[in-house]
Structure 1
C-alpha cells in the first residue's frame, strides 16, 4: 500500500493549515495586487488560488462520489469573484477534505477510480492511491507558486515545513 488513511488525514491537516495562512495574507491585499499578472501559469495570485480551489473541489467530488465544481480548467481561474468569497469557499472545502480523510478506511484506498475526463475526452480508470497522492501534490505545487508570487509582491508567507505544523 502506497498510502494509508493516516497519510490522508495528515495531508488534509497540512492543506488546511497552509491555506489558513494564505487566507490571512491575501484577505489584506488589494484586488489590484491579487489580480496582477505575475507571469505564473495561471497569471495572478487570485487566479492561481481559484484554480487550486476548483481542482480540490473537482477531485474531492470524484473521491466522494458527489458533484464537483462547474466549468472546466479554463474557467477555474474565475471560480470566485472576490478574495473574501474565495476565503469562505476555501475554508468550507478544506473542512470537507478533512472530513473525507477522517472517514477513510484502508479498504477505501484499494481498487480503481473511474471518471469521465474532459482533458482526455474519455472515461478514465486509474488506481485510487496515486490519484489521491496527485490531489495532495497538486495542492502543494500551486501553493508554492502562490508563495513565490506573494514573496515577489512584498508579502511574508509563513513557513511551509510540515514538521513545523502545530500538533505534528
Structure 2
C-alpha cells in the first residue's frame, strides 16, 4: 500500500507544518491559544495537544515507545502551555523522523493489532493503512487549526504538500 519513501516524505511534511505553526502561534497570548473556538478539541492549544497525544499513541504502536498517559478525552490537556507543546512536539517529530528513516518495506506489511480505547475493542488493521492514518490524522487536525487561525484573522501556514521545501 505505502512505501518507506512515503513515510519519510510525510514525516518531513509533518515537521515542516509543525515548525510553521510554532513560528506563527508563538507570539499569541496563552488566553488566545486556549480560547474555545468550537473545534472538536475546543481551542488551538487543545487541538495541538491532541495531535501530540495521538502521535505518541501511534508511535507507541509502531516503534514500541511508551504510551502517552490518559485517553482521547484527556488529550487536549496533554500540553499545559504553548512552551510545553513546543518542546514535546519537537521531541515527537524527531521520533517520527527517526522512525521514518529506519522503516523498511517489510515493516509496512502485515497487520497491526492494538487495544483501542476509542472503540473498546482489539483492532487488527494493515500496518500500511495505520501508518497512512497517522499522517492523515495529523493533516486533518492541522486543517482545523488552520481554519481556527483564519477565522481569528491570523496568518495561517502554507499547507500545500507540493510547496514543501526540499531537504
Shorter-normalised TM-score: what interval?
over 0.9
In 2, Cα distance between the equivalents of 1:113 and 1:158? 33
In 1, Cα distance between the equivalents of 2:23 and 2:94? 17
| Cross-structure match for 2:35 | 36
In 1, Cα distance between the equivalents of 2:115 and 2:34? 32
In 1, Cα distance between the equivalents of 2:147 and 2:120? 33
1:129 has 2:131 as partner: no
In 2, Cα distance between the equivalents of 1:41 and 1:118? 18
Name the stretch that deviates more: 116-125 or 10-19: 116-125
Aligned residue for 1:132, secondary structure, equals: helix
1:85-144 per-residue CA deviation (whole Å, 9 max, x = no partner) reads 100100110010000000001010110011111122222211101111110000000000
Q: How does 1:90-105 map to 2 (within 5 A)?
A: 90-105=89-104
Aligned length: 167
Q: Cα distance, 1:158 vs. partner?
A: 2.3
1:41-90 per-residue CA deviation (whole Å, 9 max, x = no partner) reads 11110001100111011001111122221000010000011001100100
Aligned residue for 1:119, secondary structure, equals: coil
TM-score, normalised to structure 1, is: 0.96
Q: Cα distance, 1:153 vs. partner?
A: 1.6
CA RMSD of aligned residues (A): 1.0
Which segments of structure 1 move beyond 3 Å, counting only runs of 4 or more? none
TM-score, normalised to structure 2, is: 0.97
Gaps of 5+ in 1: none
Equivalent residues of 2:49, 2:78 under 8 A apart: yes
In 2, Cα distance between the equivalents of 1:23 and 1:67? 25
Gaps of 5+ in 2: none
